[in-house]
């Protein structure tokens, strides 16, 4: 394979993996509302340790439940975090015209001082 064909093949693989990841996230409800995301996370926390144990048994690895790390606990509200981000962005956009005017005046002063 030449270099361009190899790069094209890598691009197709990466695109397929990314598309598959987005599809799985959508299918499991992770891209829905905060409630749907919380439910999907709860399902994953319930099903992940048995799935890891099943694969370990299949592969012949000696893994006990005590060796598996605990699932992380998330103690924050997705909707509150989203709302805080929206408020921050809207606040920045609301002061943008004033700041742009201030920066323009400062820029003109700087240019005038350079010309002198």
Structural domain includes residue 16: yes
Host domain of residue 31: 3-53+86-115
Specify whether the CB–CB gap between 52 and 70 falls below 8 A: no
Question: Which has the closest alpha carbon to 29: 40, 21, 18, 20?
Answer: 40
pTM: 0.32
Structural domain includes residue 62: no
Q: For the segment 10-48, what is each residue's pLDDT rounded down to a tens digit?
A: 788 888 888 887 787 777 777 767 777 777 777 776 767
Structural domain includes residue 61: no
CA distance 79 to 35: 9
Q: Which residues contact 33 (CB under 8 A, 6 or more apart)?
A: 79
- The CB density around residue 40, as the number of other CB atoms within 10 Å, is 17
Question: Which has the closest alpha carbon to 74: 51, 42, 96, 48?
Answer: 42
Structural domain includes residue 103: yes
Specify whether the CB–CB gap between 71 and 48 falls below 8 A: yes
pLDDT score at 62: 64
Number of domains in the chain: 1
Structural domain includes residue 91: yes
pLDDT score at 69: 65
Structural domain includes residue 77: no
Structural domain includes residue 71: no
Structural domain includes residue 26: yes
């Amino acid at each position: 394979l030449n270099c361009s064909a190899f790069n094209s093949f890598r691009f197709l693989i990466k695109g397929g993996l990314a598309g598959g990841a987005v599809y799985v996230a959508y299918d499991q409800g992770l891209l829905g509302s905060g409630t749907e995301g919380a439910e999907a996370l709860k399902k994953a926390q319930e099903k992940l340790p048995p799935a890891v144990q099943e694969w370990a048994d299949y592969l012949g690895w000696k893994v006990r439940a005590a060796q598996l790390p605990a699932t992380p606990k998330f103690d924050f509200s997705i909707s509150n975090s989203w709302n805080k981000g929206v408020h921050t962005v809207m606040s920045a956009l609301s002061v943008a015209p004033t700041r742009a005017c201030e920066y323009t005046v400062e820029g003109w002063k700087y240019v005038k001082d350079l010309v002198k």
